[in-house]
Amino acid sequence: MENNNIDIRNIINKKRNKVELKDEEIRYFIQKYTNGEVLEAQAGALLSYIYLNGLTDKETLSFSLAMANSGDKLDLSEISDQIVDKHSTGGVGDKVTLILMPLIASLGLPVAKISSRGFGISGGTIDKLESIPGFNTEISLEKFEENIKDIGVSIINQTYNLAPAEKKMYRLRSLVSCADCLPIVAASLMSLKLASGSNKIVFDLTCGRGTYIKNKDDAKKLGKMLVKLGNELNKKVGYVITSMEEPLGNSIGHILEIKETIRCLRGNMPQDIGDVVVALGSVILELSGRGKNLNENSKVIIDAINSGKALMKFKEMVAAQGGDIKYIEEPESFAKAKYIVPVYSTESGNIKSIDADVVGSIARYLGAGRMKDDSEIDKTAGIILEKKIGQSVESGGVLAYIHTNDENKVLGATQNLKDAFKITNGKVLVPKSRVLDIM
């Protein structure tokens, strides 16, 4: 029942003055914002004050529930009480979800994934999968559940009426420069998990220049919020903090990342991707009661890759959602960009750093990302890195390849991409792993 005494301006004033909001006020805001009665300017003002003044644990929980209840919710309990989900805070070249979903399903744990399209420099899992000809992410909810029952894994786009408030808040955070508003991020992420019916959830909390969480301390704060929310909501939650200072893997761009995913599932996995996949998979097994020893769990994850089980499950997932598995079996069948241009180094030395934010921005400029919500993506566009941090390069050696269909963008992209690489004559200390912390 609507409370006529609640007013959005009073809610904004309370948060400006650091006064805790009541459950009914948060429900009122989410309901009215979702249906358009609260203006974008008002929602932006409230979000900005939340960014500045924070939320209490009670408020964060209320936001999670209100966003989850803003639309429909799936009940997958008849399928299993071990429904797994993995969520990443995003990053440049992050194709871990594509690898991990079929891998976990190949071990007998059902995976239900609701994802979204890319916005900004982070590519969206939905866009990447739709790069496979025929792959349909708009399947019915009935088909979604059927796939989980029959093959153990399915993914849908967040276009159904599942947590619609979360989708609006996600966009708003970006528009008003509050993408790293941690309490709202935590509430948004948990609202999606409540709506999707998952109950064993691992979060890949990326931090660094290639994502919106800039340091490990903030990632850990977010992780603790998510674990606390999980406890309140009767969900088992774990997290892994990973570095996004340089792009993950060697490929940035939709088809390019799908092809790298296939190589990984065939066992040819770059170490940085492997570190993240193994850590997240090991935590999922622990959350699901499959083993408390993360080292032993790691061996199970690695075996699922080496045995080909994960690749077979990926093919099943693709086929079940209409995708042409010829492209999985013959990746060279994928379309290619018209221009594939090498970027040469003008100095010799060791790669000290690769700015993931700059690389992601260049990939988006080339066509591999959206400049606006309704922008079309060039799924052949992107970047292949030939060098990573710690590797040596000679003057005239290739640092990367640019893939684009727009010849006019080649010159500027080449210079900017070269500038994203910092080269030194000194020794470079390469971190042993992209994984910074596990909980």
Asked if residue 3 has pLDDT above 70, the reply is: no
Delineate the domains of the chain, giving CATH numbers in brackets.
8-54 (1.20.970.10), 84-329 (3.40.1030.10), 336-424 (3.90.1170.30)
The answer to whether the CB of 439 falls within 8 A of the CB of 239 is yes
Taking only the tens place, the pLDDT of each residue in 72-94 is: 888 999 999 899 999 998 889 99
3-state per-residue secondary structure call for 287-298: HCCCCCCHHHHH
What pLDDT is stored for residue 69 in this prediction?
94
What pLDDT is stored for residue 4 in this prediction?
62
User: What separation, in Å, do the N-terminal and C-terminal C-alpha atoms of the chain show?
Assistant: 40
Buried b (16+ CB within 10 A) or exposed e, 365-376: bbbbbbeeeeee
Buried b (16+ CB within 10 A) or exposed e, 226-264: bbbbbeebebbbbbbbbbbbbbbbbbbbbbbbbbbbbbb
Q: Note the maximum CA span of the chain.
A: 70
- Please provide the average confidence, as pLDDT, over all residues in the chain: 93
Full-model pTM: 0.92
Taking only the tens place, the pLDDT of each residue in 362-377 is: 999 999 887 666 678 8
Q: Which residue type does 233 have?
A: L
Two structure tokens written together for 391: 């590797």
Distances (CA, A) of 359 to 116, 244, 355, 391, 410: 22, 12, 6, 18, 14
The answer to whether the CB of 368 falls within 8 A of the CB of 123 is yes
Taking only the tens place, the pLDDT of each residue in 308-366 is: 999 999 999 999 999 999 999 999 999 999 999 999 999 999 999 999 999 999 999 99
The rounded percent of the chain whose pLDDT value lies above 90 is 83
Taking only the tens place, the pLDDT of each residue in 219-278 is: 999 999 999 999 999 999 999 999 999 999 999 999 999 999 999 999 999 999 999 999
What pLDDT is stored for residue 137 in this prediction?
94
Buried b (16+ CB within 10 A) or exposed e, 70-100: bbeebebeebbebbbbbbbbbbbbbbbbbbb
